[in-house]
Structure 1
Amino acid sequence: MSDPGNLVHVIDMPLRWGDMDAYGHANNTVYFRFFEEARITWLTSLKLGLKGEPTGPIIIKTSATFLKELSHPATVEVRTYAGKAGNTSLDTWHEIVDKDTGALYSEGYAKVVWFDREAHKSTPLPDTLRALATSS
């Protein structure tokens, strides 16, 4: 991840015993859940996309690069970055880092589109998010 954008949110999360798979490490879906929880916690802290509001985020593309095996017990720090903003979308990036050692477990990406829940179509990105995005 060469330039993920502006660091906008950090959250600590424990790896639960049940998050591991038969091979004794975190199942790959857990990384996406960490990304999702970090993203939702960040947006909630900004009071954006809350339940019942007419607009909110949807994800149209996501990916992860798995760099290091993650095993229980562990507490990770999930860092969220706001990248480039479009008219209706925002590139977001994530890093999952070991809270104690600083080891980088995974890098992730999600393209967030702001969505009108009643009209079922994209709508302009809130100014709050646009202000946090990188200018490139």
Structure 2
Amino acid sequence: MNAQAKLIYTARIPVRWGDMDAYGHVNNTVYFRFFEQARCEWIEHMGFRVSPEEATGPVIINASCTFLAPVNYPATVIIKMYAGDPGRSSVMTWYELFIEGEERLYAEGAAKTVWMDMRSGKSAPLPDKVRALCDAARN
């Protein structure tokens, strides 16, 4: 994670029985869904809708995850979401995944979030509110 990244949102997400795979732990693809859920909650928390019907909105252009320890049902994951310096149309985000009640880091990830014009498919300037919240987290 970038040393200048600042915490911008924390999500609590229950692990479902169906999130587990044949190995008896949460499937690796579900970690990306946890990060996605935190990102969507953050966007909605700012007053934006995550919907294809909106003229502009956030998309990710890359995502990564490092799996440090297996997560098992039952549990509630805590996703801490961090942001870097906003660019013209994008902001880099990082994620830490913990289990509620534990200090151990189970996974960490990243995603570059780009604001996009849904009609043209081209990047659009980050809304002032998103930029201000990312900047405020740094102060």
TM-score (norm 1): 0.92
Name the structure 2 match of 1:92. Answer: 93
Name the structure 1 match of 2:78. Answer: 77
Name the structure 2 match of 1:104. Answer: 105
Task: Report the Cα distance in structure 2 between the residues aligned to 1:97 and 1:4, rounded to whole angstroms.
Answer: 21
Task: Report the Cα distance in structure 2 between the residues aligned to 1:39 and 1:4, rounded to whole angstroms.
Answer: 19
Question: Helix, strand or coil: the match of 2:85?
Answer: strand
Q: CA deviation at 1:62?
A: 0.5
Task: Report the Cα distance in structure 1 between the residues aligned to 2:107 and 2:18, rounded to whole angstroms.
Answer: 19
**Contact 2:50 2:58 (C-alpha < 8 Å) held by counterparts:** no
Name the structure 1 match of 2:39. Answer: 39
Q: Would you say how many aligned residue pairs link Structure 1 and Structure 2?
A: 135
**Is there any run of 5+ residues in structure 2 with no aligned partner, and where?**
none
Name the structure 1 match of 2:8. Answer: 8
**Contact 1:6 1:132 (C-alpha < 8 Å) held by counterparts:** no
Q: Deviations over 1:46-78 (max 9, x none)?
A: 112443321000110100011111111111111
1:25-36 map, 5 Å: 25-36=25-36
Q: Deviations over 1:2-58 (max 9, x none)?
A: 526121111111111111111111100010000000000110111124433210001
Distance of aligned partners of 1:41 and 1:12 in 2 relative to their CA distance in 1, 3 Å threshold: same
Could you tell me which amino acid in structure 2 is paired with residue 69 of structure 1? P
What is the percentage of aligned positions where both structures have the same residue?
49
Give me the CA root mean square deviation. 1.5
Give the structure with the higher percent strand: 1
**Contact 1:82 1:132 (C-alpha < 8 Å) held by counterparts:** no
Task: Report the Cα distance in structure 2 between the residues aligned to 1:24 and 1:79, rounded to whole angstroms.
Answer: 25
Distance of aligned partners of 1:4 and 1:74 in 2 relative to their CA distance in 1, 3 Å threshold: farther
Q: Deviations over 1:91-123 (max 9, x none)?
A: 011111111112211111010110001122101
Distance of aligned partners of 1:121 and 1:131 in 2 relative to their CA distance in 1, 3 Å threshold: same
Q: Does 1:63 align with 2:64?
A: yes
